Structure 1
Amino acid sequence: MDKYLIVVLIFLVVTIPISFVEPSSGEIRDPPLIPLFYSAIAGIIIIFVYSTYKDKQERQKANAKRRSRK
């Protein structure tokens, strides 16, 4: 996983508790920010899918290059 994806992933993971806790006072929000929670979860899933897809493409290119040398 690339460095910039890891940084974005960290921000998304930190966003999850922020959706349930008020950062300024530390109190639990009475109605939690559900859209913020689900958008963070969706972002994490998208990052994992993208990084898996990118790694798969790199492996396919490496395998094709290795096969062509034989």
Structure 2
Amino acid sequence: MMVVLGFLLVGIPIAFVQPDTGELRDQPLYLLFYASIGGIIVVIMYNGYKGKKARQQANRERRRKFKK
């Protein structure tokens, strides 16, 4: 997930700057910018969801051990 997040973060400045010359673009690539922002939001939400499920599983295991 960190690799995907890294690519999305690198895509944001590429939307506004020419990679080969380093100059600002006349027309920024807004689609790339908004797609990168949306992708970052999705990655953060997915990681939160995955962490929540892992905590629920750990709590379930802990309760099962405590009841025995």
TM superposition score category, shorter chain reference: over 0.9
What runs of 5+ residues in structure 1 fail to find an aligned partner? Answer: none
Q: TM-score, normalised by structure 2?
A: 0.95
Alpha-carbon offset, residue 17 of structure 1: 0.2
**Share of identical aligned residues, percent?**
53
Aligned Cα root-mean-square deviation (Å): 0.5
Structure ID, larger Rg = 2
CA-to-partner distance for each residue in 1:43-69, whole Å, 9 max, x for gaps? Answer: 000000000000000000000100011
* TM-score (structure 1 length as normaliser): 0.92
Q: Deviations over 1:4-55 (max 9, x none)?
A: x001101100000000000011110011000000000000000000000000
Which of 22, 29, 36 is the equivalent residue of 1:33? 29
Q: How many residue pairs align between the two structures?
A: 66
Look up the equivalent residue of 2:28 and give its one-letter code.
Answer: P
Counterpart of 2:9 in structure 1: which amino acid? V
Structure 1 residue aligned with 2:51: 55
The amino acid across from 2:35 in the alignment is: S
